[in-house]
Structure 1
Amino acid sequence: MEPTSGVENEASGTGAGAPLPRAVGLPARPELEGEVERNPIFDALVGPDEEDVAGLVAYSIYKQNKRAWLDDFVKTTGRAPSEAETRSYIIGESTERRIATYRRLAASTLAGDAPTRMAGRAKGSMSRTAAGALWALAIIVALAVVGLAIHAGYFAGAK
Structure 2
Amino acid sequence: MSLFPADNGENDLFLSRTDPENPFGTHAAYSFELEGKVWPTVEHYFQAMKFTDENRQEKIRTATTPARAGKLGRKRHKSLRPDWKKVRETVMTRAVYTRCRTYPDLAQALLETGDQKIVENSNYDYFWGCGRDRRGHNGYGKVLMNVRAKLRQEQAEASEQ
State the TM-score, normalizing by the size of structure 1. 0.26
Larger Rg: 1
Give the structure with the higher percent strand. Answer: 2
Question: Which structure shows the bigger proportion of residues in helix conformation?
Answer: 1
